[in-house]
């Protein structure tokens, strides 16, 4: 699966500020240029360039057959992608918003996730499903869901989420190169985040499934991904004032899950908080906390805590700030890690 | 407990659907080759002047509502607004053909239909302002929540109409969807259920040319969207969606047909979206100005105005009166929308379940604590740093 690491290479070009959305677009472009079997399809991906402009320019450069405006039907889009992949293409599908991917769930769960297994390996499906996801952009109903728990509970799917501009490029190239289906979750509220970035030859392209330590620290580990990474980095900075030296681990992918990087970090620090904005109950944090506990029990000085969105349907935009875990809630949890003192 | 044992169950006696013999001849189900028109044709003379004047007043009011709501997005008072400017005839006719006991199933663009049915103009906008998901009680107004996931409200309309008929009520459901929405699986499943159950439903497709940026030609290869009806075994009607009189007539016939127990109808209203998809969309990316200008000639208000003034039913004074009434509505809307809504963050937990789970009670307490004090959590917990 790590082919892209070899094909893309290291950073050489001059760095310029780029947004995450631009980096994603560039990844699609480069993947299409490198491999004629890569096809992009979805609602409004052609002339409009996608509602977030991620696919801007692709139809012009590669033609309508390579970047296709489909009829408005998510089950149809993903179902057609299954057939295209069966015939040797590499479809990259765009679901316009998180909650509008649900009509495609049947295709995703019953076919995309299972085809390799059903056919005893004879028919893998190299499909990438791009889903703009998560809240924090003031979207009305059905525009802010965090759906990663549904996807990660479905064996057969990779579930990937970039949190930086570099990773947006690298992980998307990796996902498209993967012979397994990937649900590629794009944190909407980071689309406009910027980094100095060199489109000619972008930063390291990591194979899917490797977590990275974004900030080294000694006193506790914040385990996070996607939209919550900036929150955790900010919390880690704020915590230094109180003498806490927090390590921040960016998972980058929930499936596969990088047990090694996470466990190594928690063994070093002895304390861990999982932070994500999707609901806590039945959410990714429970799985992560259980894995950490299983691997690091003797190193832990406090229970693994979770900071997550409330267990409610995503609220209206005027109320979302109360729902989304912010820096204070992370710091609250960090304070509770002072377990011996409290119990 | 079985249904029979439930208290009050005795009052509930389902009426079986009427016997249904599938049609073998599709001809009567086929739509006309051209959209049906009334205004500017001979049949305009038969139209009820009072109805035409009512439609006119409502169209003018609706146009003003769209303009005001769009202005509110620019002032940051609305998060987003999908305008129905150009489509007012469809919106108004849909609201006016229904009896009070009937139900409307609008999509996210159909605020105007909801307002014309009597919903408070501010309540209709809370979804788009961002303070609640549905700012009104659907049962009170018999208007389902404005629906954002496309076409998903259509099976609901079928189910509700079916239930009403089982209960012996002569209630009709009118469900609205866009041209893009007709590609969704839910659209097809709803039509099929409705026809098989002979449910009292009217499906109104507003074909406004685009689904965001995608033109109809990339959405369907059918001769018309109304033709889709035939395959399910219901009549399809093609109407000029900018002709308020034609819309009212065709929708009225379909509602009457449904009420008589003769089953569902699919109506395609051919219209045009004059504004961008929403205020956040850049329509210049996918359509030319010339196209919009051509449709301006066929504006629903202009069409009706021409008819009414030509017949001496409306003069400058009448036009001014309609505009003033619309202006007053806009003023009221502006004023109310300029006040900040007072929201209780505790409402987040109020309606997840009938009763809060223990978990939600805990989370509510946590939020209450957070709100009670802007605080430094580390300090408050007596943590002086880990040495
Ligand atoms: C299931 C689903 N997929 C995608 C979307 C995103 N979306 C919102 S409106 C829209 C276009 C709808 O076009 P149409 O049905 O023609 O209605 P119109 O906007 O023209 O009134 C799309 C793709 C959605 N709301 N629901």
Write the ipTM: 0.91
pLDDT tops 90 at residue B298: yes
Distance of alpha carbon A126 from its chain centroid, rounded? Answer: 18
Q: Which residues of B are less than 8 Å from A140 in CB distance?
A: 79-80, 127-128, 130, 148
Q: What is the DSSP letter of A304?
A: P
Confidence of residue B252 (pLDDT cuts 50, 70, 90): very high
* pLDDT tens profile B130-177: 999 998 999 999 999 999 999 999 999 999 999 999 999 999 999 999
The contacts of residue A310 (CB under 8 Å, 6+ apart) are A279, A280, A323, B348, B349, B360, B363, B367
Residue reference for tokens 């109320």? A319
Q: Which of B109, B144, B147, B378 to probe the A interface (max A CBs under 10 A)?
A: B378
> Which residue lies with its CA nearest to atom 3 of ligand 1?
A100
On whether the CB atoms of residues A214 and A229 are closer than 8 A, the answer is yes
- Strand (E) or helix (H) holding A335: helix A327-336
Residue reference for tokens 């929540």? B145
CB contacts under 8 A, B 192-231 vs A, are 211-214, 218-220
Q: Which residues of B are less than 8 Å from A314 in CB distance?
A: none
Q: How far apart are CA A283 and CA A146, in angstroms?
A: 10
Q: Can you give the pLDDT at residue B380?
A: 54
* pLDDT tens profile A101-127: 999 999 999 999 999 999 999 999 999
What pTM value is reported for the model? 0.93
Confidence of residue B111 (pLDDT cuts 50, 70, 90): very high
What are phi and psi for residue A257, nearest 5 degrees?
-105, 130
Using the beta-carbon criterion (under 8 Å), do A48 and B285 form an inter-chain contact? yes
First-to-last alpha carbon distance for chain B, in angstroms, is 63
Q: How far apart are CA A182 and CA A176, in angstroms?
A: 8
Q: Can you give the pLDDT at residue A295?
A: 98
Q: Which residues of chain A have pLDDT under 50?
A: 1-11, 341-343
Please check whether residue B76 touches A, CB under 8 A: no
- Residue-wise burial string across B134-170, b where 16 or more C-beta atoms lie within 10 A, e elsewhere: bbbeeeebbbbbbbbbbbbbbbbbbbbbbebbeeeee
Ligand 1 site residues (CB inside 6 A) read A 43, 72, 74, 96, 100, 103; B 109, 148-150, 178-181, 208, 210-212, 273, 277
Residues of A classed as catalytic: 143
Q: Can you give the pLDDT at residue B383?
A: 47
Q: Can you give the pLDDT at residue B17?
A: 65
Q: Can you give the pLDDT at residue A10?
A: 41
* pLDDT tens profile B174-231: 999 999 999 999 999 999 999 999 999 999 999 999 999 999 999 999 999 999 999 9
Using the beta-carbon criterion (under 8 Å), do A242 and B348 form an inter-chain contact? no
Q: Can you give the pLDDT at residue A17?
A: 85
Q: What is the DSSP letter of B36?
A: B
Q: Which of B286, B298, B306, B356 is catalytic?
A: B286
Confidence of residue B6 (pLDDT cuts 50, 70, 90): low
Q: Can you give the pLDDT at residue B1?
A: 45
Please check whether residue B133 touches A, CB under 8 A: yes
B304-312: average pLDDT: 96
Q: How far apart are CA B174 and CA B157, in angstroms?
A: 7
Beta strands in B214-313 (DSSP E): 214-215, 236-240, 265-270
Using the beta-carbon criterion (under 8 Å), do A244 and B180 form an inter-chain contact? no
Question: Among A118, A120, A159, A332, which residue's Cα sits nearest to residue A258?
Answer: A159
Pick the range with the lowest mean pLDDT from A70-74, A268-272, B44-48, B268-272.
Answer: B44-48
Q: Is the peptide bond before A168 cis (omega within 30 degrees of 0)?
A: no
Using the beta-carbon criterion (under 8 Å), do B212 and A143 form an inter-chain contact? no
CB contacts under 8 A, A 174-213 vs B, are none
Q: How far apart are CA A304 and CA A313, in angstroms?
A: 25
Q: How far apart are CA B106 and CA B176, in angstroms?
A: 5
Please check whether residue A303 touches B, CB under 8 A: no
List the structure tokens of B20: 């249904």
Average pLDDT, chain B: 92
Angle of helix B244-259 relative to helix B88-96, nearest 10 degrees, comes to 30
Distances (CA, A) of A280 to A289, A312, B354: 11, 10, 20
């Amino acid at each position: 699966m790590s082919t892209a690491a070899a094909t893309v290479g290291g950073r050489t070009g001059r760095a310029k500020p780029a947004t995450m959305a631009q980096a994603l677009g560039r990844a699609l472009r480069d993947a299409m240029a490198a491999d004629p079997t890569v096809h992009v399809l979805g609602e409004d991906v052609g002339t409009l360039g996608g509602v977030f402009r991620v696919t801007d320019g692709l139809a012009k450069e590669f033609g309508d057959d390579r970047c296709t405006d489909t009829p408005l039907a998510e089950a149809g889009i993903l179902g057609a992608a299954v057939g295209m992949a069966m015939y040797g293409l590499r479809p990259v599908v765009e679901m316009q918003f998180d909650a509008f991917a649900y009509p495609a769930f049947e295709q995703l769960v019953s076919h995309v996730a299972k085809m390799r297994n059903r056919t005893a390996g004879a028919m893998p499906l190299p499909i990438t499903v791009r889903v703009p996801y998560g809240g924090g952009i003031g979207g009305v109903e059905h525009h802010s869901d965090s759906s990663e728990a549904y996807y990660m509970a479905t064996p057969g799917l990779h579930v990937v989420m970039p949190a930086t501009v570099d990773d947006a490029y690298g992980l998307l190239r990796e996902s498209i190169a993967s012979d397994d289906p990937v649900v590629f979750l794009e944190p909407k509220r980071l689309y406009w985040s910027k980094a100095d970035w060199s489109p000619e030859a972008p930063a390291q392209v990591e194979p899917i499934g490797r977590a990275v330590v974004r900030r080294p620290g000694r006193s506790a580990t914040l385990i996070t991904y996607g939209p919550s990474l900036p929150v955790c980095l900010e919390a880690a900075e704020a915590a230094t004032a109180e003498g806490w030296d927090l390590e921040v681990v960016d998972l980058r992918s929930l499936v596969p899950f990088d047990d090694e990087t996470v466990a190594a970090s928690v063994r070093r620090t002895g304390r861990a908080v999982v932070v994500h904005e999707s609901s806590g109950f039945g959410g990714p944090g429970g799985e992560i906390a259980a894995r950490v506990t299983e691997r690091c029990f003797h190193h832990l000085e406090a229970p693994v805590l979770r900071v997550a969105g409330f267990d409610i349907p995503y609220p209206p935009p005027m109320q979302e700030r109360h729902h989304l875990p912010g820096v204070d809630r992370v710091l609250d949890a960090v304070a509770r890690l002072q377990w011996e003192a409290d119990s | 407990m079985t249904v029979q044992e439930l208290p009050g169950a005795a009052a509930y006696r389902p009426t079986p659907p009427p016997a249904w013999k599938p049609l073998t001849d599709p001809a009567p189900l086929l739509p006309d080759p051209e959209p049906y028109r009334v205004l500017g044709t001979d049949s305009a003379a038969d139209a009820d002047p009072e109805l035409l004047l009512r439609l006119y007043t409502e169209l003018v009011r609706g146009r003003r509502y769209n303009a005001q709501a769009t202005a509110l997005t620019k002032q940051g008072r609305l998060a987003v607004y999908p305008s129905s400017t150009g489509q007012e005839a469809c919106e108004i006719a849909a609201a006016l053909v229904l009896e009070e006991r009937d139900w409307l199933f609008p999509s996210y663009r159909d605020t105007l239909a909801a307002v014309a049915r009597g919903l408070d103009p501010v309540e209709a906008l809370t979804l788009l302002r961002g303070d609640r998901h549905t700012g009104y009680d659907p049962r009170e107004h018999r208007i389902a929540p404005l629906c954002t996931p496309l076409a998903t409200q259509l099976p609901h309309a079928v189910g509700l109409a079916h239930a009403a008929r089982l209960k012996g009520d002569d209630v009709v459901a009118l469900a609205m969807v866009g041209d893009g929405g007709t590609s969704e699986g839910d659209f097809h499943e709803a039509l099929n259920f409705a026809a098989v159950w002979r449910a009292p439903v009217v499906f109104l497709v507003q074909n406004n040319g685009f689904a965001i940026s995608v033109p109809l030609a990339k959405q369907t290869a059918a001769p018309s969207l109304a033709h889709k009806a035939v395959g399910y075994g219901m009549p399809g009607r093609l109407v000029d969606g900018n002709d308020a009189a034609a819309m009212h007539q065709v929708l009225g016939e379909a509602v009457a047909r449904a009420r008589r127990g003769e089953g569902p109808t699919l109506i395609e209203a051919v219209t045009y979206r004059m504004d961008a998809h929403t205020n956040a969309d850049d329509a210049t990316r996918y359509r030319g100005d010339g196209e919009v200008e051509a449709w301006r000639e066929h504006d629903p208000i202009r069409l009706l105005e021409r008819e009414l003034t030509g017949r001496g039913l409306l003069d400058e004074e009448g036009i001014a009166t309609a505009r003033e009434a619309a202006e007053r509505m806009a003023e009221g809307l502006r004023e109310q929308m300029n006040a900040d809504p007072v929201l209780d963050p505790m409402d987040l937990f109020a309606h997840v379940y009938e009763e809060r789970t223990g978990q939600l009670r805990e989370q509510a307490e946590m939020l209450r604590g957070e709100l009670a004090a802007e605080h430094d959590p580390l300090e408050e917990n007596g943590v002086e740093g880990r040495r």
